[in-house]
A and B are shown apart, each in its own frame.
Chain A
């Protein structure tokens, strides 16, 4: 897989307004010999001080046989634990931390992940990491494509005014990146459904490129840096200037 030539900015903003981040998810996939039936209990023992009881997600109602026979379900969570600012989702081979409501900022997410890594270590079920991923989903009202430095072309002319959904998979140093751009989505924002565009970027590492308990947090840091460089690098400078960028 090739890398994508993304313009480098001399300075990357630390904040833009309004904050377009709809959801931030830090995820690790793993293998374990521990049966699924006891995983939620093992984790809950460790996180109950900050998170509520496990809540079943709808997929849990499917039989284990069906879940296991369908590859699409392999990495989906089956229960969630809700806290005041974050959700933890757990499945037989995945655990993720995601922001709830307004984006709390990277330092808050990093601190929570740091806490969670220790709780996962103490729970003792984590066998071997398979994939470490970070996904940021940004939402913008209207059509985002004219504001991007990447756009579809038809017979040498830019495609405009049509619904576009585009997925790019590329390498970024050690990371695999998957960028989804779509100019016709409906998103639930503060209880209201709004139409617009999403910039959905997922950065991940394979099993040989991280050790969750050793350098997992550092790898999330790197993913966050790449995420910002890709996101801001692909915005048209004129558009970025309308978002009141703040720099350190």
Chain B
């Protein structure tokens, strides 16, 4: 049975599916437009571990989850996370961690050269920066996050 038949308005001569996905899952992956750039970015900035955490969150936390039906991974949180990641300078010696908060936000954390925590929680509308070294904690609208990071986390 072609399980996708009702959603496939045409078939090609090779009987490939008409969807955007890869017709034969395996070692080669096809991406939605723009996805390949995201995958490259997260791999280059957070390594295989960070990439794996992101895949885990997006695959497994898309609906209500946990004992209190916590919120699913927020698409807008992901957008802000990726746009920030593109310009963020994470020290080379740092090993970043990635978490999912109960509000469905991505949280990126690493330790500075003195072992003090640097944490950014990416929300749908606002984001939060925490710098343990300065005892600094601030929540700003997402549009102001780039300025805050430039000011507080200079390259």
Q: What residues make up the interface of A, taking CB atoms closer than 8 Å to B?
A: 1, 22-23, 31-36, 57-59, 62, 68-72, 74, 76-77, 80, 89, 92-93, 127-131, 137, 139, 163, 165, 169-170, 176-178, 180, 182, 184-188, 198, 200, 202, 204, 206-208
Interface of B is mostly: loop
Select one of A58, A165, A188 contacting B3, CB under 8 A. Answer: A58
Select one of A34, A57, A89, A187 contacting B10, CB under 8 A. Answer: A187
CB distance from A21 to the nearest CB of B (A): 11
Select one of A23, A80, A127 contacting B72, CB under 8 A. Answer: A127
In contact, B3 and A62 (Cβ under 8 angstroms): yes
Using Cβ atoms and an 8 Å threshold, which residues of chain A touch B60? 68
By the criterion of a CB under 8 Å from any partner CB, how many residues of chain B are at the interface? 42
CB distance from A171 to the nearest CB of B (A): 8
Considering only CB atoms, which chain B residue lies closest to A29 in the complex?
A: B75
Using Cβ atoms and an 8 Å threshold, which residues of chain A touch B64? 32-35
In contact, A23 and B33 (Cβ under 8 angstroms): no
In contact, A202 and B1 (Cβ under 8 angstroms): no
Give B55-74 as 1s and 0s: 1 = Cβ < 8 Å from A's Cβ atoms: 00001101110000111111
A69, B25: Cα distance in complex, Å: 12
Q: What residues make up the interface of B, taking CB atoms closer than 8 Å to A?
A: 1, 3-7, 9-14, 16, 18-22, 25, 32-34, 37, 59-60, 62-64, 69-76, 78-80, 83, 104, 124
Considering only CB atoms, which chain B residue lies closest to A58 in the complex?
A: B3
With A31-B62, A72-B25, A89-B7 in contact, is A178–B20 under 8 Å at CB?
A: yes
Select one of B11, B20, B72 contacting A32, CB under 8 A. Answer: B72
Considering only CB atoms, which chain B residue lies closest to A77 in the complex?
A: B7
Select one of B37, B63, B79 contacting A36, CB under 8 A. Answer: B63
With A33-B63, A128-B124 in contact, is A204–B11 under 8 Å at CB?
A: no
In contact, A59 and B4 (Cβ under 8 angstroms): yes
CB distance from A112 to the nearest CB of B (A): 18
CB distance from B72 to the nearest CB of A (A): 4
CB distance from A123 to the nearest CB of B (A): 16
Using Cβ atoms and an 8 Å threshold, which residues of chain A touch B3? 58-59, 62
The 9 closest A-B pairs by CB, nearest first: A207-B75, A33-B64, A169-B33, A130-B75, A208-B79, A184-B13, A31-B72, A176-B33, A187-B10
In contact, A35 and B124 (Cβ under 8 angstroms): no
